Structure 1
Amino acid sequence: MPNEVDPDDTLKLKISKLLSLPRKNGLLSIHDADIDDLAKQRPRNYSLIVLIGTEVKDCEGCRITREFLENIASGWEAKSPSPSDLYFASYDFYYDQALIKEFGIEKAPHMIHFPPTRYPSRADQVSDGNVLMSEERLVNWIRLRTGHAIVPYVRPDYTKVKVAGVVAIIIGLPLVFGFVTFRTMSAFVSLGVILSMLSGAMWISINSPPWVMSDGRKTHLYYPSRGAQLAFEAVIIFSLCILCGLGLLTGVFGVTSEGEGRGGY
């Protein structure tokens, strides 16, 4: 009579395999070869939340949702025991397609909750931008699915420090070397701020909702990447600032030279 496999040993082996997957910022990287064993087949005593998106193709919505889920996963890791009853994973549809075909997924990002004891229902899936584009709503959706209230990890924000450093360098260096007056440099910085606030890409980034596109049968949300537009406009603004700054310098020195010339007669 063949020896029966102990379910506890199978479960331990499965968790060990799960924890051996590549991990980045709290998210396990899962592929088609692992889905059946780690997300569907029993025994399992854990939930697995899988984000379907891509880091290879240009998908702004995927990037935003992934960042939110990384914060949630990192917050969960900080408070949960190991092994845990909840894990988070990412699935890149650029490399794998099994889940796309099985669940009929037509847009990304998309999220699936694999419960411990059953197959995912429609309530265990979400592709609604109102949920995936809000960290607070995503936390609430996960709480409703798993029963865990998670406090997301808060990433340190050094933006203000970087901006202050850049401004200090821009203003300080010319003053140290003495070839630009404080008044001229203030005008130069103010002009840069004004031009940046007139930037179309900036206001799109602040105010624009996702684009909605329809093919006549289905409606799709599209989250375009604006990185290229912002970079292009930044170059234009920087060039305009340089030109205007040179114009101001030329005007200042021109007026000074003219005044000195008249004073010499």
Structure 2
Amino acid sequence: MPPDFAKVGGAKGYLIRMRVYVATILSTVLILLPSCSISQSEPQAPMSLSQKVSTLNDLSLRRPVIRLDGEKFKNLVRSAPRNYSMFIMFTALKPQRGCSVCKQASDEFQILANSYMYSPGRSSALYFAMVDFDDAQDAFQSMKLNTAPVFIRFPPKGKPKKADTFEVQRHGFDAEVLYRFISEKTGVQFRVMRPPNYFMNIVLLMTVALLAGLIYLKRDSLDFLFQKSTWGVIVISFILVMMSGQMWNQIRGASFAHRDPRTGAMSYIHGSSQGQFVMETYIVMGLHGAISIGVILMNEANTMKDLSDQQRKGMAGIGFAMLVFFFSVILAIFRSKYQGYPYSLGMRSHYSTSATTALVQHPSNCHNSSSTDTKLHHHPSTTIACSNHNSNLFCSML
């Protein structure tokens, strides 16, 4: 402010100073307003191809599966230009969604992406990415998706076609199956490498050491090795282990059980025909073992001459009861996993509505709706429900 204005006193000086202040503020606003309007009117320049490739390379080096929000999905996947393919998993992994099918599919997808990341043939021709429903609901809406998990391959040019969507219901979501799909679409070749399971190696070594120690302690009396009962127990035990699905657990890396994050209820038997839990194999092995014992009791009842007729009849009756009861339990569990299975053994209504309900729950804790897929509502309180399919490999957003 000029010095002359400062010397002017009274009301006249106050009015002069106020006019100077107002004029200064108005001039500043008039200077800044055009620049602000110009910056707001200028649209954001689209990313060039080199910028996209550089961004994807940086993101993939941080983690093999790139996490995409709505903005990244629009800029890196949907907009041109592109000279790369993207294999994207649309999922819902938040705990409040309760979709453990999505978690299992995510684990397999992570194995696939890790294998590609560390393969010698890795290039900028293919990237693996994941879009979570809670992070990018607009991406689900733009793709018209209302189920999860969904795997879609986005080609270098144009939009994905129907053949670019992987059929989870038909093929499952194992890493090896996903690899065959993306390899056929892109021509990219690499080897799927699963992380080693040291637990089974330790168990095998301990078993061998135990058997070796037993043979050493009994080295003066090895007659038990030549007894039919010894080899019968060994053979039956091996058959029970193989029938229960232990090898499937080792290959697929199945979880022990599932806890519902909302209710805390435990599920020990997988509700889908495409999966199983470790605890489920123990239950199935125990049921088959009980059936085997029942058959053995029925067979041995006729050969044990030192027992009275009444005792042998009781022994055979117990064996028959065990056979019927535990086999009906096996059928009830099988019916719960294969919804269209038509056969039962007299315990269909009772067991299926009580014991099976207590043991068998779908891992995503979903419920079947009246329609095949429930409509997707893009709201933070959206919950998950299974599609009305027999294999239940999808979850719908409610």
TM-score range, shorter chain: 0.5 to 0.7
CA contact (8 A) 2:176 2:192 kept: no
CA separation of 1:66 and 1:131: change in aligned 2, threshold 3 A: farther
Q: Find out whether 1:105 has 2:145 as its counterpart.
A: yes
Residue 70 of structure 1 pairs with residue 99 of structure 2 = no
Q: Deviations over 1:72-120 (max 9, x none)?
A: 66246523465x1211112333554333322232433311122233232
Counterpart of 2:155 in structure 1 is: 115
What's 1:212 paired with?
none
Corresponding residue of 1:79: 120
Instruction: Pick from 216, 222, 226 the counterpart of residue 276 of structure 2.
Output: 226
- Contact conserved, 2:90 with 2:132, CA < 8 A, in 1? yes
Q: Deviations over 1:199-255 (max 9, x none)?
A: 4x769989xxxxxxxxxxxxxx95665326437639979xx9xxxxxxxxxxxxxxx
| 1:64–1:31 CA distance, 2 compared to 1 (3 A) | same
Pick closer, same or farther for the CA change 1:60–1:86 going to 2, 3 Å.
same
1:40 matched residue in structure 2: 78
Could you tell me how far apart the structure 2 residues matched to 1:25 and 1:235 are? Answer: 39
Out of 150, 161, 178, the position equivalent to 1:138 is 178
Query: 1:149 Cα shift?
Result: 3.6
Q: Aligned equivalents of 2:76 and 2:238: distance in 1?
A: 52
Q: For 1:152, what is the secondary structure of its paired residue?
A: coil
What's the TM-score once normalised by structure 2's chain length? 0.41
CA distance in 1, matches of 2:65, 2:279: 30
Partner of residue 321, structure 2: none
Distance (Å, rounded) in 1 between the aligned partners of 2:274 and 2:172: 15
Q: Equivalent of 2:190, from 151, 169, 173?
A: 151
Please tell me whether the aligned partners of residues 246 and 281 of structure 2 are also in contact (alpha carbons under 8 angstroms). no
Alpha-carbon distance between aligned partners in 1 of 2:249 and 2:195, rounded to the nearest angstrom:
22
The answer to whether residue 90 in structure 2 is matched with residue 52 in structure 1 is yes
Q: Which has the larger radius of gyration?
A: 2
**SS of the residue aligned with 2:77?**
helix
Residue 174 and residue 95 in structure 1: after superposition, are their counterparts in 2 closer, same or farther (change >3 A)?
Answer: farther
Looking at structure 1, the residues matched to 282 and 147 of structure 2 have their Cα atoms a distance apart, in angstroms, of 28
1:88 to 119, 128, 138: 128
Note if contact 1:72-1:152 (Cα within 8 Å) is conserved in structure 2: no
Could you say what the CA RMSD is over the residues aligned between the two structures, in angstroms? 4.8
Identity of aligned residues (%): 21
Aligned residues: 219
* 1:124 CA drift (Å): 2.3
Q: Distance in 2 between matches of 1:169 and 1:24?
A: 43
SS at match of 1:145: helix
Separation in structure 2 between the aligned mates of residue 130 and residue 24 of structure 1, nearest angstrom? 33
The structure-2 alpha-carbon separation of the partners of 1:235 and 1:166, relative to structure 1 and needing over 3 Å to count, comes to farther
Distance 2:247 2:190 in 1: 31
**CA 1:98–1:189 in structure 2 vs 1: closer, same or farther (change >3 Å)?**
farther
Q: Structure 1 CA distance, aligned partners of 2:63 and 2:49?
A: 25
Distance in structure 2 (CA, Å) of the matches to 1:228 and 1:190:
22
Query: Which has more strand, going by share of residues?
Result: 1
Q: How does 1:176-195 map to 2 (within 5 A)?
A: 193=238
Amino acid paired to 2:201: V
Q: Which segment is superposed worse, 27-36 or 161-170?
A: 161-170
CA change 1:236–1:145 in 2 (3 A) is closer
Superposition TM-score, scaled by structure 1 size: 0.57
Output the CA distance in 1 between the equivalents of 2:214 and 2:77.
60
1:18 is matched with which residue? 56
Q: Structure 1 204/117 Cα, relative in aligned 2: closer, same or farther at 3 Å?
A: closer
Whole-Å separation in 1 of the counterparts to 2:234 and 2:165: 49
- Cα deviation, 1:174-209, whole Å, max 9, x if unaligned, reads 77899xx9859x78876754654564x769989xxx
Q: Tell me if structure 1 keeps the 8 A contact 2:171–2:177.
A: yes
Partner SS, residue 118 of structure 1: coil
| Runs of 5+ unmatched residues, structure 1 | 207-220, 241-265
Inter-CA distance 20–222: structure 2 relative to 1 (3 Å threshold): farther
- Name which of structure 1's ranges 30-39 and 92-101 shifts more when overlaid on structure 2: 92-101
